[in-house]
Structure 1
């Protein structure tokens, strides 16, 4: 029971609970919680998603809508819904564990660069514990999605308003930038810094500064790279697929 309660305390008492959970190598239960919450989020989205507008728009872009019968269109819509369900579950079962592993490897590299080596199990624990706010977001998203009669792609970002992008009167570019100031993402960054500090012995203030800078740089690259690709004519032209939960 301790292996489940101790990681959960990280969300409510991060300063004390994070270090204890990292030292005890608590990563299995948090990872299972993450997988379940993200899978539930994707499932809830697929159950409430009205795929008709997105499918019709895609067929219009491809010039196939006029040649389709109602039966074929209905089959296309059902196929899109099934793909959303499978994709949402796959994101939880496969993508999130892989993300946690990659994040732990990145922490190991940082520890090596700053000459503060730590056992990989501790770094894995720090990585998984830092993803617990993301799991909480997906849990909230799943509940909110199931409460809807139907859900469109345009409503997904606003279903759980957690960033400054919800402010009104913003231009698309400003809204995109302010979307990076997200409560759950910043919470994860703070937990990642605390976990890394506990695993390596680095001062908390130094670790927090390190990961805030890393988050700003990562966000800048994430926002700037699509703009650069679009400017070079290399941006994707298809309809964005239905999300598996948002984060």
Structure 2
């Protein structure tokens, strides 16, 4: 084989490996996560995450019937009285456009920044536990851990695409992945607690612990415990505490 063709074949094989190796975490989380972290595979996981989240935001904005949600918001703020039909239609159109731009921005900007922030938190944890690791490995662990979130958004995209129209109230029931959707009759506070027990979030947490273990050499058990502690703090602040402060008592 000529030298040029051989290099091309090796390059193609490398690109295929870069894509397939992170996908192993779905079928072989123990060895797949370790191999992907050691190989520092973070580019494809981030691209997949950005694509799936952007797709879910885009399809939601295209299927979202903003009228009832905008009217409800205007009624609660007292701005609906005296509002002309033209102004109401303009507000509905503006909210639809904001949903589209926000959905794309969440995938393209927010999710990569979240992965970077998560990697920084892992770096801090590795320093505290005296388990230094290359930052690229920690970034790979963070990006791989977010793949279940990408899968959720892919499923959500398919479900939204099958709808003729959708409202914000129906979004939470479209992919029933947490106990807050399954359990009925809970108080608002317990509803938020139950919603924190989410299948995709816990799956992501497990991969984060395995990835941190692979990056630092910490035992898998301690890595999983650390990831669970981080998720408990995240859920306590962002899924339970802040929504409650916002008036959802």
Fold match, TM over 0.5? yes
- Alignment pair present for 1:144 and 2:159: yes
Q: Which residue of 1 is the match for residue 5 of structure 2?
A: none
Structure with greater helix percent: 2
1:158 and 2:173 correspond: yes
Deviation of 1:214 after TM superposition, in Å, equals: 2.3
Residue matched to 1:198: 214
Quote the Cα distance in structure 1 between the aligned partners of 2:83 and 2:231. 46
Q: Distance in 2 between matches of 1:226 and 1:55?
A: 20
Structure 2 residue corresponding to 1:109, chosen from 114, 117, 124:
124
The CA deviation at 1:175 is 1.5
The answer on 1:15 being equivalent to 2:11 is: no
Structure 2 CA distance for aligned equivalents of residues 170 and 152 of structure 1: 23
How much has 1:224 moved relative to structure 2?
A: 2.6
Q: Name the TM-score, length of structure 1 as normaliser.
A: 0.89
Q: Secondary structure at the match of 1:107?
A: helix
Distance apart, 1:213 and its partner CA: 2.1
Tell me the alpha carbon deviations over residues 38-97 of structure 1, each in whole angstroms, 9 at most, x when there is no partner. 000000110111111121122223433232222221121111101000000000000001
Shift of 1:149: 1.3
Match of 2:236 in 1: 220
- Higher Rg of the two aligned structures: 2
- Does residue 67 of structure 2 align to residue 48 of structure 1? no
Q: Which runs of 4+ in 1 moved over 3 A?
A: 61-64
Query: What CA distance in whole angstroms lies between the structure 1 residues aligned with 2:50 and 2:229?
Result: 28
Aligned residue number for residue 13 of structure 2 = none
User: What does 1:49-64 correspond to in 2, within 5 Å?
Assistant: 49-64=64-79
Alignment-derived partner of residue 12 in structure 2: none
Moved more, 162-171 or 189-198: 162-171
1:67-82 superposed matches below 5 A: 67-82=82-97
- Where relative contact order (Cα < 8 A, 6+ residues apart) is larger, the structure is 1
1:14 CA displacement = 0.5
Q: Which moved more, 1:97-106 or 1:215-224?
A: 215-224
Q: Which runs of 5+ in 2 are unaligned?
A: 1-15
Matched position secondary structure for 1:138 = helix
How far 1:221 sits from its partner (Å)?
2.8
- Please name the residue that 1:242 is paired with: none
Report the equivalent of 2:4: none
Summarize the alignment of residues 31-42 of structure 1 with structure 2, pairs less than 5 Å apart.
31-42=46-57
Q: Does 1:99 align with 2:114?
A: yes
Larger mean Cα displacement after TM superposition, 209-218 or 113-122: 209-218
TM-score when scaled to structure 2?
0.89
Q: Distance between the aligned counterparts of 1:79 and 1:220, measured in 2?
A: 33
Q: CA RMSD in A?
A: 1.5
